[in-house]
Structure 1
Amino acid sequence: MFYFQLVIMAGTVLLAYYFEYTETFPVHIQGFFCFDKAFSKPYPGPEDSSKAPPVVVYSLVTAIPTVMILIGELASFFSKPEALQERTILTADCCYFNPLLRRIVRFLGVYSFGLFTTTIFANAGQVVTGNQTPHFLTACRPNYTALGCHSALQYISEQRACTGNPYLIASARKSFPSKDAALSTYCAIYTVMYITMAWRTKGTRLTKPTLCLTLLSLAVLVGVVRVAEYRNHWSDVLAGYATGGAIAAFLVRKTH
């Protein structure tokens, strides 16, 4: 069973890699209406210039749950009387784990699996739908004269309608769902549920609610920034919230 789980984890990581860093799964090309105001917002700049840049989001969704799980498990283990602390070495087909290490590996392993799964779901939704971002036409830079656009009701379906930077155009076709919103919500929901179920706080009633509300607020803030900077529509962000939240709730319910 341990080896089988490793194979599943490796396959999940590879699939996430192919979605994220290769063109194995091409983006669906959607058409657009001439002069569509919903897709004519100004270009917000590269992702790194965002107020919630991907490098910060990805770092936080990795670091926060890791720290919270380590704190929770270590505090739970060392708060027990020495006579009640488990010292038995548990086996996992080939490996030997101390019970404390086993719990930490289990929680972090499940979280990592869900994180890559959320990435796959978000990327799959983006390449299958090909929904455009609010700044799509700004990145696309269509030649309306050559396309014969005379009315806002005219629909353009030509794949070569865009004259802008190919990389920016491809990125502008990946709006639904918002991956950053999905990952941040997955992180927040999983960590909140872990804190609620596993942490045992004595002497204070506000520690857990404060931590949980802070994490949820940060996840919501990521989506708000995406919309405010014209990188996603509200529908994209809400779909990302739903995707990340559903995966987190499912994994916690089935594994904890």
Structure 2
Amino acid sequence: MEDTQNRKKIPMRELEKLTNLTRATINFYIKEGLLPPPEKSAKNMAYYDEAFIEKLRFIEKMRKSEFTLNQIKRLIRYDPNTVNEFGLQILESVNRLLPLEGAEAPVTKTQIKDIGFNDEDLETLIKMRIIISEDKNDTQFPAYSLTVCRFVKYFLDLGIPIAVAKDILGKLKELADLEKNAFINYIRSPMLDSNVPQDAQKTEVRKCIENISGLLPILHLQFIKLPNEDFRRFDDEACR
């Protein structure tokens, strides 16, 4: 059992400096049940420890990844009866990073860096061919590069190595190629051969995209769903 006497006691003013969070934000997380109440001294002073800081950082990382407070609370206090609903909510958070449509114009290094990458990160993305330049000077990239980089940044913020994110992107591209070929061969080509009006073609294209986009998260959830004991172990580790 941990010796509470040996834990470093951190006052609120120091906690604010260490986490770059305001007193109001920290107290809000405590009030919402995301964090435990602080230890109080005989002088009615509140103190916190390093475990508290780690929980704060975990919460902030989830918030920056667009998870809601309710989702974070379920991550910290996992309820196995809500796995399907909770899993779908998380997938919806991820899907918000992947817009259905994007600009066709090429994007620049500055636009990619604005997502949250520095120069070194950008060079790594280029070297690993996660993004591929449209010119010899690496100044312009295809429009979809923004979506790819948002995806990679999401994984990096969660502590997942860039090489793993690249592997996942590769598999997603393989899946997208299969879907595209199936769509062209069995949906688009018959419509063109039948002289379907252009507006009707666009409607059918959008319906197909929306249906596939709606089904994939459900399949994804079913494939990655962990046994309850794995979630409990994650819950225990997150709350330490």
TM-score after normalising by structure 1: 0.26
